[in-house]
Structure 1
């Protein structure tokens, strides 16, 4: 059975493109840019071709083309014009749109072709910061608004994970330990969102640091085992959904008592759940960061 999403409400289009539903309706009526279809029960919807066209129209509009001008361009000429502009400038926005199309169609070839095109202009570091991070932010919002399914998210993140692993392996082959510090990267129990942590691992390895990646859902008590092997440890963790708001302060207090207090050890933390923490009163040795870049800058 083909389960590719091919029917979109106007709210879906708003979430996917960032164009307000009111604006879409105006473009539809005034310029005949889109032609919504109707179900057997007379409910309006847009097909995949309409979604792709709207992405292209939005891209041209953001690059200085007036809607009245776009409406006069032959429909089959619009994608070529978008590719022409993307080749000259604003590659990031075009790539993000292509990755979203890849995700919605479960289209691996489009993902790989888009990524390989980016590699001609950027290195992996730039691609992750300039394209993958904004893309992941958008994907998170789309998932929260039910515009995409968990299957879409897993499809895309598995491909991103693949690219991080490949580039980390390349960096490890050239690794030179430049410090007595050992970074131990882990996620707390029941936390599974590891892409950000994986990229931090890549960045640390690329800079020649000793980095041990433990992955997701690691019990706090098992981290103590590493202190039998390394004298100066910096634990790094990403709190996206865990520990929960009611538990996070106790978690940090317990971590400090078990692993940080009176030792040559630190904990560096990032993630959405830090919004539930009083960052000005953290135990000594526990350091919060607002972004991956700010953490890497401290290294």
Structure 2
């Protein structure tokens, strides 16, 4: 069982710690425990409760009313609300609850419902990406555990692979070689890039996680792609990113190289002439729209 500070609850729910303390005192909404050294902490049940309470409160339920409801009633209202609500924040909140509860069925229902209403691309851009950014920060600060992060990442990964398989390349499409640096395992963004590229009719050679440099070079020599795409989230470490990008530029000087990720965005990186930085996944959409498919002669 995970333990949380009141600051963790604030980050996950969006409710200020001061407000949580008032609710705790006035309505006995939470039941904090104490360590042997008398430090207050909260458990998974407290977190699940406050996430549900936050969602109901954001949608007009008075806290006095929520405090009088049984847990089963609160959960039923949350399910009904997320089934009919189209606001992105509500859907992100519902996914967060599903993650904390490790509820695959509920997560899949929320995600599938949004895909049906908004389409796959808009669901990724407006719901999944903000959600993944949120849990990425929480994972790094220890507010959620690695098992929860892996649980969600694998479910999203499954959806992406199915969506990618439905896309087809077109004659005249460019070749894109997609890979993650050696040691880099965060695959969601590069998979979504693969989906976007294929949806525009281009060809993707996908190498995925932790690609050794020698393997990357061997595949490059076979396919000679016009573009390489990589995302640097944790590896290589920040002090080695500049050297890594310089090496890519020199080794693949005949291709355009697209780089993104936490270790690139907002950092003091000097980009060689054939390297382009993407700050947001939406940037690659604009980049792709500028590439014209060239009809092939028969």
Give the TM bin, normalised by the shorter chain: 0.7 to 0.9
Matches within 5 A, 1:150-189: 150-171=146-167, 175-189=168-182
- Please name the residue that 1:53 is paired with: 49
SS of the equivalent of 2:130 reads helix
Runs of 4 or more above 6 Å deviation: 39-42
- Please name the residue that 2:272 is paired with: 283
Structure 1: 5+ residue runs without aligned partners?
none
User: Could you tell me how far apart the structure 2 residues matched to 1:61 and 1:164 are?
Assistant: 33
User: Could you tell me how far apart the structure 1 residues matched to 2:41 and 2:240 are?
Assistant: 43
Residues 227 and 233 of structure 1 are in contact (CA less than 8 Å); yes or no, is this contact kept in structure 2? no
| Pair 1:11-2:7 in alignment | yes
Matches within 5 A, 1:107-118: 107-118=103-114
Query: What is the deviation of 1:6?
Result: 6.1
Residues 220 and 255 of structure 1 are in contact (CA less than 8 Å); yes or no, is this contact kept in structure 2? no
Residues 181 and 212 of structure 2 are in contact (CA less than 8 Å); yes or no, is this contact kept in structure 1? yes
Matches within 5 A, 1:3-152: 5=1, 8-37=4-33, 44-68=40-64, 70-71=66-67, 76-152=72-148
1:239 to 201, 215, 232: 232
TM-score (norm 1): 0.84
Residues 118 and 127 of structure 1 are in contact (CA less than 8 Å); yes or no, is this contact kept in structure 2? yes
- Please name the residue that 1:254 is paired with: 247
Aligned residues: 288
Structure 2: 5+ residue runs without aligned partners?
289-298
Residues 179 and 207 of structure 2 are in contact (CA less than 8 Å); yes or no, is this contact kept in structure 1? yes
Matches within 5 A, 1:189-200: 189-200=182-193
Distance 1:143 1:210, change over 3 A: same
Distance 1:85 1:180, change over 3 A: closer
Query: What is the deviation of 1:230?
Result: 3.9
Residues 183 and 234 of structure 1 are in contact (CA less than 8 Å); yes or no, is this contact kept in structure 2? yes
Query: What is the deviation of 1:239?
Result: 0.7
